[in-house]
Amino acid sequence: MLTVKTPEEVLALIETVFVPLTDRVENVELSAAIGRVLADDVIAAEYVPDFDRSTVDGYAVRAEDTFGCTDAIPAVLELRGEVLMGQGAKMELQQGCCCAVPTGGAIPQGADSVVMVEYIEDYGDGLIAVSKAAAPGQNMIFKGDDVFPGKTILKKGRVLRVQDIGALAAIGRVQVPVVRKLTVGILSTGDELVPPDEKPGPGQIRDVNGPMLSAMLSAFGADVRFYGIVQDDEVLLARTVKAALAECDAVLLSGGSSVGVKDAACRIIESLGELLLHGIAIKPGKPTILGKVGVKPLVGLPGHPVAAYFITKLFVLPLLDRLSGCKTENYTVTARLAESVSANHGRAQYQCVKLERTDGQLIAHPVRGKSGLIAALAGTDGFFCIARDCEGLPQGAEIQVTISGK
């Protein structure tokens, strides 16, 4: 029998039952790689930089030629020309000699350090006085200091960020192997729903979950297909779900937890695959169903927008991460509750907040509302959880807020 599961059990179930989809590698241009999941380790095949480089404007020297020099008794070296930016150092530096190099310029063979221009006097007759001894390796980056052949730059499963794009550019990876985007189908169900651009008639409301879930999944990085508003008719529903499952990697049925649709959705899942879950012990969002058809998940989300929001954030996105072979960490920021919040014993309770910074401290203002009330979400900055064994939190309590990002 399927019982209501805790959030932890649901996440563990997802990891156990679903596996990363295979054969989903595609190469994208570096400029399109941000936010994508890396499909292979990136291992460097060359040196960066490919030559010893100066980190200052100065003079390349053999450090030992400067040992013991001071303001009063400078080391006098023969100037053997200048390295130009973007060109190789064509000479080999002999003992007693130096060579001008710009920041980022190549350091000639034989040299092992750079003296900053501040510690140099150019006598103008081909001789240069150095007033500060150089330590070997000073003011330079060695060939391969940044990257060398065989070095692992980025690991498979990494969601590529700005800083990774820089590293890929540095080693010339202008084509990046990434996991193909997941295609997620969304169906809104409910005889009371009209599209957002229509005026609701008596007893009708606009479909909120269709646009909201589409936005969430697009921002997450999925390709979204919206199958429209489907009436509470089992035959029609089964047909649309089957079509969506054929075209998508995962399907969300919003409103599939209302009595009629829920029963229908359960029957559809059981006729096509396996029903895995029938209820999650969280508030809002308890009436959630999860099934598996082949390797594809089919999720029945609560129709209440706030519940649908939390279930998607907390369980559907991790499920999609699992299918893509990556894992997104849930980082939280510490804040203090502006007012007390009561909770139902027995279910983890999620609550949206607005954050405000007062004297350097983050204050979280809970935004109240029954779970059908979308205005309780609008304008919020994040959310926190009251554990299921907790009956509420007092004003001033320290909480961990998940910032809702886009």
Distance between CA atoms of residues 20 and 31, nearest Å: 25
Q: b/e for 346-381, b at 16 or more Cβ within 10 A?
A: ebbbbbbbebeeeeeebbbbbbebebeebebbeebb
Distance between CA atoms of residues 355 and 131, nearest Å: 57
Distance between CA atoms of residues 334 and 404, nearest Å: 14
240: its two tokens: 């649309």
193 binds its own copies (CB under 8 A): yes
Smallest CA-to-CA distance from 213 within 305, 146, 296 is with 305
- What is the nearest approach in angstroms of its own copies to the Cβ of residue 383? 9
358 binds its own copies (CB under 8 A): no
C-alpha pair distances (Å), 28 with each of 36, 183, 356: 9, 17, 40
Interface mask toward its own copies for 332-351; x: CB under 8 A? xxx-----------------
Task: Identify the residue among 66, 113, 209, 254 touching its own copies (CB under 8 A).
Answer: 209
- What is the nearest approach in angstroms of its own copies to the Cβ of residue 35? 5
Task: Select 134 or 147, whichever has its Cβ closest to its own copies.
Answer: 147
Distance between CA atoms of residues 379 and 358, nearest Å: 19
Which amino acid appears at position 40 of this protein? Answer: D
Task: Identify the residue among 28, 266, 272, 355 touching its own copies (CB under 8 A).
Answer: 355
Interface mask toward its own copies for 294-333; x: CB under 8 A? ---------x-x---x-------------------x-xxx
For the chain, report the end-to-end CA distance as a whole number of angstroms: 38
**Within 224-283, which residues bind its own copies (CB under 8 A)?**
232, 258-259
**Within 91-130, which residues bind its own copies (CB under 8 A)?**
102-106
**Within 373-392, which residues bind its own copies (CB under 8 A)?**
373-375, 377-381
**Within 120-179, which residues bind its own copies (CB under 8 A)?**
141, 145-147, 151, 153-155, 158-159, 161-174
From the list 121-129, 190-198, 273-281, 389-397, the region that binds its own copies by CB under 8 A is 190-198
